[in-house]
Amino acid sequence: MSEVLDKCNRIMSFAPKKEVDSYAKKQLSKNLNKYEQSIEKKLADVYYIIDGKQYSSLLDAIYLIEDWNEIEIHFFHPNTEEIWEYDIPTKLVKLTGPGRGALMLYQINHFALNQWDPKQEPIVETAMFRSYAAHFYSPESIKTQSKKMDERPLVPPRPLCTPFEFWEDIRFKGIVPFQMNLCAYSKERRYLYQLDILNNSLIMDFRNKKIPIKNRVLRDPWDYYHLDYFLSKQEIPDLAKKVLCIFFELEDGDAADIQIGLGITEKMARDNISALAKRGLVEAKGKPPKARYEIILDNIKKISGKGK
């Protein structure tokens, strides 16, 4: 943990000096520990090849490299004994140009006993890439923290952006990324890679083994683009984000889906659904306790804005 914290402190050194005091360093450690206790199970290890040089840590690379032309994200030691339901087995992701690149994907049968074989020849698919910091720490000094909320300068990470813009933003603001969500949009699908930057691993989608894959409804890649942009704006709590993600890939769902999928109480499930409904993100069909809910896609698009 001390080594990871040292790497995080190096990234935080890019922040304005007035914001990096002993208080900010203690808060970084506190937020890092909180994140470590909340992450999902690991599906694979990750290493990076950036302009021909290999890095085992993305934090090291961000600190050392100002800009880059090409990044390869390699996934190795995949947990083939784990159930891959909402995650796509991938050999590598190649990022080239302004938000463009390719994927090397393994074929998977979600309903087979042995879902996929890492020895098979992967399929290459081109895609547009965007990314955002799903979990992070934005440094604030004790002086800034003591100000009233409306007087404090908010320095959030940039919402859904190209991987190069993500890199540039982290170095410019000194925001420490704990988890990066890398979103790939092909002509047919959107693929989501949740990268644990602290531990250099691919982490499991929280819905695996909780929300049956047979109930999944895949949407148009551009619909996911708007969802990802909205999630990246950090406007709702993490639990509410998960509720929205569950409903987004269901024809409709109810409080029981949320209760089981997130392992929370019925009241917590209903409270979070109600919060999304008040924001116009989901609507009810029927009345409680038998109400079922579906997303209001047009409103998600309006709230997200273009974000391209």
**In a domain? residue 167:** yes
pLDDT of residue 150: 60
Same domain as 94, residue 190: yes
**In a domain? residue 8:** yes
- For 99, residues 6+ apart whose C-beta sits below 8 A from its C-beta are 128, 129, 130, 162, 163, 164
The boundaries of the domain holding residue 299 are 234-308
**Is 130 exposed, middle or buried, given 0-12, 13-18 or 19+ CB atoms closer than 10 A?**
buried
Same domain as 19, residue 86: yes
Cα separation, 73 vs 55, whole angstroms: 10
User: For residue range 15-58, what is the model confidence (pLDDT) as tens digits?
Assistant: 999 999 999 999 999 999 999 999 989 999 999 999 999 999 99
Domains contained in the chain, number: 2
CB neighbourhood size of 229 (10 A): 23
Residue 228: name the closest of 185, 271, 167, 262 by CA: 185
- For 279, residues 6+ apart whose C-beta sits below 8 A from its C-beta are 236, 303
Residue 65: name the closest of 82, 90, 48 by CA: 48
pLDDT of residue 308: 45
Same domain as 83, residue 189: yes
- For 98, residues 6+ apart whose C-beta sits below 8 A from its C-beta are 162, 164
**In a domain? residue 215:** no
pLDDT of residue 307: 43
Q: Report which DSSP code applies to 161.
A: B
pLDDT of residue 1: 65
Q: Which residues of the chain have pLDDT under 50?
A: 307-308
Which of 209, 226, 252 is where one domain is finished?
Answer: 209
| C-alpha dist (Å) from residue 25 to 17, 142, 147, 259 | 12, 10, 18, 36
Cα separation, 65 vs 196, whole angstroms: 19
Same domain as 250, residue 104: no
To which residue do tokens 């080594």 refer?
3
pLDDT of residue 272: 96
DSSP three-state, residue 216: coil
